[in-house]
Amino acid sequence: MAPSSDSPQSLVQTDLSTIRTALSDAGLWLDFGAAILRLQSDSPALAAQVQSVYRHFPLVTQAPWADIHVRIGRQGGIRRWLRPQVTFSCDGSRPFDPFPASAPLPLLEWGTNWVFGRRMNDLLLFHAGAVERDGLTLLLPALPGSGKSTLTAALASSGWRLLSDEFGAWDPLRQEFRAVLKPVALKNESIAVIRRFAPQAHLGPEFPNTRKGTVVHLSADAVSVARRHQPASPGAVVLPQWSEGSATVLQPLSPDRVFALLAFNSFNYSVLAEVGFDAVVQLVRRCPAWQLTYSRLDEAVAALNDLWTDGRVRRRSGPADAEAEADSIDRHTHDSA
């Protein structure tokens, strides 16, 4: 039975036997905000791993709807006993090779992200971190290795509301960003960086020797989970770039560069065609944009906090407001650089 809506029981408050039973029976429903996952599994290890990184999510064992239905299952045959493995299946298909049985969570996270990136075509999905402050979204599109996830995790541990580490989910009809609230995947050196920067942050189990090296997941805090259905307005686009030994520098980006950056870093821009083009144009017109080059995480967070307090980022009702302010924003940025 699902918990009462008046006082929902969180997964961290639930004993593991209850979570295991839910996974092996009708399933566990995880509501990320913009999408809902129904998860079933016979993996002995998955219950504790899901509890660790989805700790503040409510326990829901029955629900009328899920956007995707996923199963993490133990591999049959000899693999049940010799180097056990688990598989990811969605609606009967298995798009990935099996993972070691001790690492069902990375398989769940990567598999779910892959499915969302191909199915959530009611939204324009940018490959970007997304956080919110004062009702405004900071979008962090970047290529792998740029420090995007590390910076997203640092901001989420510094008073910003986490929307997503993987998806900047823009609703073209409602003109707002939506949360796809999943754990932040930290890899290799970034794990120790976040442990030093935010020792209070809750990190899940460590998975060495994955295809991306060592992986740890940062769980969303209770406030982000409680507000996962609250949308956020567009605020700013910042292209992060970690560079060893560099000073912290914010440089304004031209609209044509921002357009290419957003379109290139979208999972479904070409699928949405004209809708996708119009949506990116709207965002370019409404959001001031900068490239952030940094080597010190604390300085990068401070620089982004300053954007939200010194007037360079503010709520705009539409393209006309953004264009009217563009010159003054660029002058302010140039003068302070």
pLDDT of the residue at 318: 57
Average pLDDT over residues 218-246: 96
- Kindly give, in sequence order, each residue whose CB lies less than 8 Å from that of residue 331, ignoring residues fewer than 6 positions away: none
Q: Is the pLDDT of residue 335 over 80?
A: no
Over the stretch 299-319, which tens digit does the pLDDT of each residue have? 999 999 999 999 899 887 654
Over the stretch 13-24, which tens digit does the pLDDT of each residue have? 999 999 999 999
- Determine contact, residues 170/126, Cβ cutoff 8 Å: yes
Q: How confident is the model at residue 92 (pLDDT cuts 50, 70, 90)?
A: confident
Pairing of strands 289-294, 233-242: parallel
Distance, in Å, from the CA atom of 174 to the CA atom of 158, rounded to the nearest integer, reads: 28
Specify burial of residue 85 (Cβ count, 10 A radius: 0-12, 13-18, 19+): buried
Over the stretch 22-81, which tens digit does the pLDDT of each residue have? 999 999 999 999 999 999 999 999 999 999 999 999 999 999 999 999 999 998 766 666
Nearest to 40 by CA among 123, 120, 99, 104: 104
Distance, in Å, from the CA atom of 146 to the CA atom of 34, rounded to the nearest integer, reads: 26
The CATH label, of 3.90.228, 3.30.70, 3.30.1460, 3.10.620, for the domain at 124-336 is 3.90.228
Give the DSSP letter string of 221-239.
PHHHHHTTT--BEEEEEEE
Q: Is the pLDDT of residue 329 over 70?
A: no
Q: Is 41 helix (H, G, I), strand (E, B) or coil?
A: strand
Question: Over the chain, what is the mean pLDDT?
Answer: 91
Over the stretch 100-140, which tens digit does the pLDDT of each residue have? 999 999 999 999 999 999 999 999 999 999 999 999 999 99
Distance, in Å, from the CA atom of 59 to the CA atom of 102, rounded to the nearest integer, reads: 23
- As a whole-number percent, the residues of the chain with pLDDT over 90 amount to 83
In the chain, where are the structural domains located? 11-119, 124-336
Q: How confident is the model at residue 147 (pLDDT cuts 50, 70, 90)?
A: confident
pLDDT of the residue at 314: 87
Q: Is the pLDDT of residue 168 over 50?
A: yes
